[in-house]
Amino acid sequence: MALRESPELVLKKFQQLVNVTPGGILSKEQLQQFVNSSFSDPGQEFEQWEPQDWTSSPRVLAKISDQKLQAWASDLNAKWKSLGRKIKDDVGARPMFYSQIYVPHPLMVPGGRFIEYYYWDSYWVIEGLLISEMTTTAKGMIKNFLYLVERYGHIPNGGRVYYLRRSQPPFLTLMMDAYLAHTNDTEFLRENIHLLEMEYEFWQRNRSVSITVGDRNHSLNYYNVQIGEPRPESYSKDWELATDLNEDARQELWAELKSAAESGWDFSSRWFLSSPHPISATLKDTKASAVVPVDLNAFLCKTEHLLASFYRILGNTTKAAQFQANLEHRLEAVQAVFWNEAAGVWMDFNLLKKQLNPAFYPTNLAPLWTDCFSDQAAAEKAVRYLERSSALSYKNGLPTSLARTGEQWDLPNAWPPLQHMVIAGLAKSSSPGAKETAFILAQNWIRTNFALYKKYQAMFEKYSVDGDGNPGTGGEYQVQVRPRTEVHRWGGVCVFIESLTRPRGQGQTSW
């Protein structure tokens, strides 16, 4: 919502309104009238934009042998035309009038209630664009993130000024890798590799922690946004959550909520102080900065691997050796700190308890996806871990956790990016059992998404693993249903998983 007048004038009018109101407490009607007169309608900072590189028949469609699935994938591909946006030049020229952070190139918005870009969501958007052969649009979105790194030193959580002091899982280097795999545009890499390194250094400088195991100190990374006050985008919710706390406890809780939001998992029992099954714990027990997450370090492990590889391609052997050394240190740290031999999987480390969190999360398998391991039997051990848990008993997808807390990153919800990480990590293993498990999980996930698409003509950000399958539940907002108009931000994942795991000629499934 853009300001209709200068910030100074709007603030002056608000203060005048408070001063002339008995007790200084505005009624809902007064506040609504002030908002209507001072702010324009949402979305005015964008222009509609239709991508010129869209094609109705990307090659991936021919790889999908089932005709119903192929038609569905074609429907999803058509949604790109309605999700393109360009931020108006006025946002860059007069930023004080807007909450939107300006970026210069067109982009794809998530859809539904989300009309601005978000960081880690965009990795899967870009993957979807690339398999849809929309390389120019994908490159533009990567350029936007590079622009943000150059301007701010990191990539904000999302495209609003109130997200500037926190980030999200670091996927920029992985975005570049995905783009290069489709284009081999090494000149683009050469021009921007210093910005990939700059973002990596943000995490090393601001989000690192040392953990001692035996006589070895290991440097790993965690989410840690030590900024108090309620989140601007959820101000009233945060304020009400902390009403019965003293000032110090309030500020600490608000900082922890921001740390959890930086993870992308806002919110989850994964960040609650009690674990593994915090039935009595609530959002008020969030302590995200006490958790050293497996997946964040797996992402940074992949980043180090890619930066070493990129510098070798560009002929910079000194930098390549530096990042290769960083990678080797990370591999050692991930194994020493996170690996649980008895369980046969990696687990989050709790800094306060000085122990691993034994709870199930799909991210416990994230190192398989990012190749952050050296044990060639790791995939087979991970399959046995899944089989021993109850996670595989849910036929609509892998649950985000096994704790029912009412938070959206917990049971009964299944989130597409987590499905992708697990499925892709198992699928590229040499283990037949891991490949078979990946195929079954992919079939289950496709079936769930397809069934709900037929029912609602829409995709959803999360799905319930309970019963016959429904849109996800819980959290701070209702899951968005937008029949016939918009596909939510993870829509392309279904096509990506289908193309990744289903060989041509495999037996047909009845849909």
Strand partners, 355: 350
Query: What distances in angstroms separate CA 86 from CA 46, 76, 92, 104, one per listed residue?
Result: 6, 21, 12, 8
Cβ burial, residue 245 (10 Å; 0-12/13-18/19+) = middle
Cβ burial, residue 121 (10 Å; 0-12/13-18/19+) = buried
Residue pair 269/401 in contact (Cβ under 8 Å)? The answer is yes
Cβ burial, residue 345 (10 Å; 0-12/13-18/19+) = buried
The residue written with tokens 């964008």 in the block is: 46
Query: For 52-185, where are the alpha helices, taking DSSP H only?
Result: 67-78, 80-83, 89-93, 121-131, 135-152, 172-183
Instruction: Please identify every residue annotated as catalytic.
Output: 266, 461
C-alpha span between 195 and 184 (Å, rounded): 18
The secondary structure element, H or E, covering residue 463 is: strand 463-464
Omega prior to 358 cis, within 30 of 0: no
Query: What distances in angstroms separate CA 473 from CA 237, 451, 461, one per listed residue?
Result: 18, 17, 10
Give the contacts of 75 (CB within 8 A, at least 6 positions apart): 453
Query: What distances in angstroms separate CA 230 from CA 65, 242, 434, one per listed residue?
Result: 50, 9, 44
**Amino acid letter at 241?**
L
- The 10 Å Cβ neighbour count of residue 171 is 25
Residue pair 498/73 in contact (Cβ under 8 Å)? The answer is yes
Q: Is the dihedral of CA 241, 247, 252, 255 positive or negative?
A: positive
Our CA angle for 378, 422, 204, nearest 5°, is: 80
C-alpha span between 353 and 211 (Å, rounded): 12
